[in-house]
Amino acid sequence: MAIFFTVIGLTECAFIAYDLLSGGSLSSARAPDLGLGIRSWTLHHAMRPGYSSPAVHTNSLGLRSPEVAIPKPSGTFRIVLLGDSFTFGFRAPDDEVFARRLEARLRQEHPDTSIEVVNAGVLSYCPLLEYLQYRNDLSKLEADFVVLNFDMSDVQDHLDYSRDAVWASDGSPLFVTEPSLRRPATVWPDLLSFEWVARHLTGIRRRVQSSVEGSPFALDKERYLWALDNGPELDDAVRRTLEPIEHLTRLLAHQQIPFLLATYPQPWQVSADATPLPPVREQYGIGLHTVHLNDRPFRKLERFATDRRISFLNATGAFRQAAHPASLFLDNDFHFSPLGNQLYADILSRYLTSRVPDPSGR
Task: Count CB neighbours of 239 within 10 A.
Answer: 12
HSE at residue 339, side-chain half, CA atoms within 13 A, is 14
Angle between helix axes 296-307 and 235-254 (nearest 10 degrees) is 40
Percent of the chain with pLDDT over 90: 77
Name the residue with higher pLDDT: 197 or 224.
224
Residue 21: band (very low, low, confident or very high) from pLDDT cuts 50, 70, 90: confident
Residue 244: pLDDT above 70?
yes
* Virtual torsion, Cα 158, 225, 97, 301, nearest 10 deg: -70
Residue 183: pLDDT above 90?
no
Listing DSSP states for 193-207 in one string gives HHHHHHHHHHHHHHH
Mean pLDDT of 335-358: 97
Contacts of 268 (CB under 8 A, 6+ apart): 224, 274, 275, 281, 286, 290, 291, 292, 334
| CATH numbers and ranges of domains, the chain | 57-189+215-355 (3.40.50.1110)
Q: Find the length of the chain.
A: 362
Closest CA to 293 of 314, 316, 261: 316
Contact call for residues 320 and 265 (beta carbons, < 8 A): yes
Name the residue with higher pLDDT: 45 or 203.
45
Mean pLDDT of 341-352: 98
Mean pLDDT of 217-231: 82
Residue 264: band (very low, low, confident or very high) from pLDDT cuts 50, 70, 90: very high
Residue 184: pLDDT above 90?
no
Mean pLDDT of 79-102: 98
The string of pLDDT tens digits covering residues 267-300 is 999 999 999 999 999 999 999 999 999 999 999 9
**Distances, alpha carbon 246 to alpha carbons 39, 116, 249, 297, in Å:** 26, 25, 5, 18
Measure the CA–CA gap between 36 and 169, rounded to whole angstroms.
34
**Distances, alpha carbon 224 to alpha carbons 44, 45, 151, 269, 302, in Å:** 22, 22, 10, 11, 18
Measure the CA–CA gap between 136 and 280, rounded to whole angstroms.
35
Mean pLDDT of 107-125: 97
> pLDDT at position 26, please?
56
Residue type, 218: A
> pLDDT at position 220, please?
75
What three-state secondary structure class fits 241? Answer: helix
Mark 285-305 as b/e (b = at least 16 C-beta within 10 Å). Answer: ebeeeebbeebebbebbbebb
Mean pLDDT of 71-79: 97
> pLDDT at position 3, please?
78
Contacts of 39 (CB under 8 A, 6+ apart): 32, 33, 45, 178, 180, 181
Residue 211: pLDDT above 50?
no
Name the residue with higher pLDDT: 120 or 29.
120
